Amino acid sequence: MNKVITKALGLQMNGFYTEALKIYQKALKKEPMHSTLCEYYGSTLLSLGQNKEAKKYLTRALNKNIEKPQVLNNLSTANRALGLFNEALLNAKSALKFKPDYLDAWVNRANIHMDLKQWDEAIAAYKNAINLDKDDKGPYLSLARAYLYNHEYDSALELYKKYYTRFNDVEFLVGELICYRAKNDFAKAVDFSYKLKEKYNNELMWFEWVQTLWMANDKKRVKEESKKAIDKFGEYPALMSIVNLLEED
């Protein structure tokens, strides 16, 4: 059985999920309660988005031994995808109970707190994730987003500004713009958005520019600038959503 698992796992790790599934399925017909088979089969199903079936086998993998952080975290991911947020949270907490330095579980837990609109708990969990890996931009962006949802705009703004220089990623600049808009500082938002539009001159920044004008209630410029954007990039969906609102108004 170990050779079978090794072969299937090799395929799974290299992205050959369908081929791995066939091997796991054949082996499971002989040993349907084999915990390791259930674990890897469940994780493969999870990778393919088959969350309901993944949950079934990941749960089975815990039958004899619940102290499996990775299985618990995968089960949490499956339950979250199924919209079972409270159950997913319990799974993530259990994973962290057995492995307190489990980065993926902290991120997973934080995301579930966000789903449940538990902003303070999400903030704390993202901070724990950052403490475990200070080189991953994801938790920083997620932490700033949690601050935004918790109406801690200055904390979010500080984070976006500080870590743009470190990661050099435009997501931090867009986050900074969102903070100005959230604070209703439209003078600064319009000025900042204009500079981003001029610097990057792409669909995203033109959309943010037109959206900022819309939120600032400058409908005349929305009409003028959206026409320029359409001439440059065509009628792409994000921009047209604002144009349609303007026409309905």
Q: What is this structure's pTM?
A: 0.89
Burial of 18 (0-12, 13-18, 19+ CB in 10 A): exposed
Between CA 141 and CA 148, with CA 146 as vertex, the angle to 5 degrees is: 95
The pair phi, psi for residue 48, each rounded to 5°, is: -90, 0
Residue 37 DSSP code: H
Ramachandran quadrant class, 95 (left: phi over 0; alpha: psi -120 to 50; beta: rest):
alpha
Angle between helices 137-149 and 153-167 (to 10 degrees): 160
32 compared with 174, residue with greater pLDDT: 174
pLDDT digit string (tens) for 87-140? 999 999 999 999 999 999 999 999 999 999 999 999 999 999 999 999 999 999
Please name the residue that has the structure tokens 């307190």. Answer: 100
22 compared with 206, residue with greater pLDDT: 206
Q: Is the pLDDT of residue 1 over 70?
A: no
pLDDT digit string (tens) for 39-53? 989 999 999 999 999
Domain boundaries, the chain: 188-249
**What does the mean pLDDT of the chain come to?**
93
Q: Which long-range contacts (CB under 8 A, 24 or more apart) does 6-15 make?
A: 8/40, 9/40, 12/40, 12/43, 12/44, 12/47
